[in-house]
């Protein structure tokens, strides 16, 4: 109540002072006609909320300090790393596999070997490599990890193919091979055929002489899919 009464009194003081404003000298960094002098500071401070704690989702690009390349490590300069839907899911917190935070996202990609540790024999600077098994953190310029997680890739492959071969093509193959046994001239039916997995599946069955019937939803960009 005291604060309200003071606020009302201060408002009156402010209203009373308003006609004077036109004649006040220009505000300097240390004003003599300060808000305190007008008696309004306490009235406004009553509207400040308490300090708050919040969960803040922030996308940051940070400089990561150099790390030691140990004898079995390979330092890879990343050339391309896609945004897979599973990356989005894990940022949303709904992907079953969750990294310890803070974390660098990106599960697949392709890079060029930059440096190798003294015990590494099968990889050399300049080799094209992909992470396999999939590892977190391809959305960065240099990655240092044990040689066992890097697989050499054909240098003549298009970069965009190499960067996206680790997730969707194997899933298409698993769908074809894990549930049934297909022979040439068999047919498969799939929905969601415009998806990356669906497109991979179409290419794989075609190369095996298997027919595919592809169900897609009606879209204005249908021509680009054909
Ligand atoms: N288990 C695993 O390790 C694994 C790995 C990879 C993928 N996957 C799964 O495989 C599926 C495809 O993945 P992807 O990366 O290839 O997906 P994607 O390229 O993002 O494609 C998504 C597909 O879903 C369709 N779609 C989206 N919303 C729809 C709706 N409301 N009605 C009808 N169709 C809809 C899209 O059709 P339009 O083109 O018409 O939009 C498109 O065909 C996903 O379910 C993914 O989770 C699983």
Residue at token pair 């204005």? 220
* Confidence bin at 144 (pLDDT 50/70/90): very high
Nearest CA to ligand 1 atom 10: 197
What average pLDDT is seen over the chain?
82
Centroid of ligand 1 to alpha carbon of 61 (angstroms): 28
Centroid of ligand 1 to alpha carbon of 216 (angstroms): 11
Residue at token pair 């069955």? 205
Percent of the chain exceeding pLDDT 90 equals 61
Residues 62-70 have a mean pLDDT of 93
**147: its two tokens:** 């040689």
pLDDT > 50? residue 168: yes
Delimit the CATH 3.40.50.720 region(s) of the chain.
Answer: 168-225
Delimit the CATH 3.90.180.10 region(s) of the chain.
Answer: 73-162
- The neighbour count for residue 198, using CB atoms within 10 Å, is 20
**59: its two tokens:** 């996308």
Residues 24-48 have a mean pLDDT of 51
- The neighbour count for residue 107, using CB atoms within 10 Å, is 23
The closest-lying atom of ligand 1 relative to the alpha carbon of residue 200 is 16
Fold annotation for 168-225: Rossmann fold (3.40.50)
pLDDT > 50? residue 212: yes
pLDDT > 80? residue 74: yes
Ligand 1 pocket mutation pick from 83, 84, 85, 97 by most atoms within 8 angstroms of CB: 85
pLDDT at res. 46 = 81
pLDDT at res. 52 = 85
pLDDT > 70? residue 73: yes
Cβ neighbours of residue 103 closer than 8 Å, sequence gap 6 or more: 136, 137
pLDDT at res. 59 = 74
Centroid of ligand 1 to alpha carbon of 195 (angstroms): 5
Centroid of ligand 1 to alpha carbon of 168 (angstroms): 10
Ligand 1 site residues (CB inside 6 A) read: 85, 167-168, 171, 192, 194-198, 216-217, 219
Nearest CA to ligand 1 atom 35: 192
Gyration radius of the chain's alpha carbons? 31
Q: Is 95 a catalytic residue?
A: yes
Separation of alpha carbons 131 and 106, rounded Å: 11
The closest-lying atom of ligand 1 relative to the alpha carbon of residue 196 is 16
Q: How far apart are the first and last CA of the chain?
A: 73
The closest-lying atom of ligand 1 relative to the alpha carbon of residue 84 is 15
Specify the CATH number for 73-162; select among 1.10.1060.10, 3.10.50.30, 3.90.180.10, 3.40.50.970. Answer: 3.90.180.10
pLDDT at res. 42 = 54
Q: 128 and 63 in contact (C-beta within 8 Å)?
A: no
Per-residue model confidence as pLDDT tens digits over 80-126: 999 999 999 988 889 998 888 888 999 999 999 999 999 999 999 99
Per-residue model confidence as pLDDT tens digits over 128-140: 999 998 878 999 9
Q: State the maximum Cα–Cα separation within the chain, in Å, rounded to a whole number.
A: 93
Residues 52-56 have a mean pLDDT of 81
């Amino acid at each position: 109540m005291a604060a309200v009464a003071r606020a009302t009194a201060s408002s009156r003081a402010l209203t009373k002072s308003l006609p004077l404003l036109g004649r006040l000298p220009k505000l300097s960094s240390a004003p003599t006609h300060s808000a305190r002098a007008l008696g309004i500071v306490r009235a406004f401070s009553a509207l400040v909320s308490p300090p708050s704690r919040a969960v803040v989702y922030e996308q940051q690009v940070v400089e990561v300090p150099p790390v030691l390349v140990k004898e079995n490590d390979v330092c890879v300069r990343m050339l391309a790393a896609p945004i897979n839907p599973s990356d989005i899911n894990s940022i949303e917190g709904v992907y079953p596999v969750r990294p310890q935070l803070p974390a660098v996202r990106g599960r697949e990609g392709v890079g060029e070997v930059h440096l190798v540790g003294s015990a590494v024999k099968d990889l050399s600077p300049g080799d094209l490599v992909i992470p396999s098994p999939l590892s977190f953190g391809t959305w960065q310029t240099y990655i240092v990890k044990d040689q066992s997680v890097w697989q050499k890739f054909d240098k003549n492959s298009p970069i965009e193919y190499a960067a996206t071969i680790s997730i969707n093509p194997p899933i298409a193959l698993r769908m074809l091979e894990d549930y049934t046994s297909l022979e040439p001239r068999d047919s498969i039916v799939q929905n969601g055929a415009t998806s990356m997995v669906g497109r991979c599946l179409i290419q794989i069955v075609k190369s095996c002489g298997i027919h595919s019937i592809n169900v897609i939803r009606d879209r204005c960009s249908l021509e680009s899919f054909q």
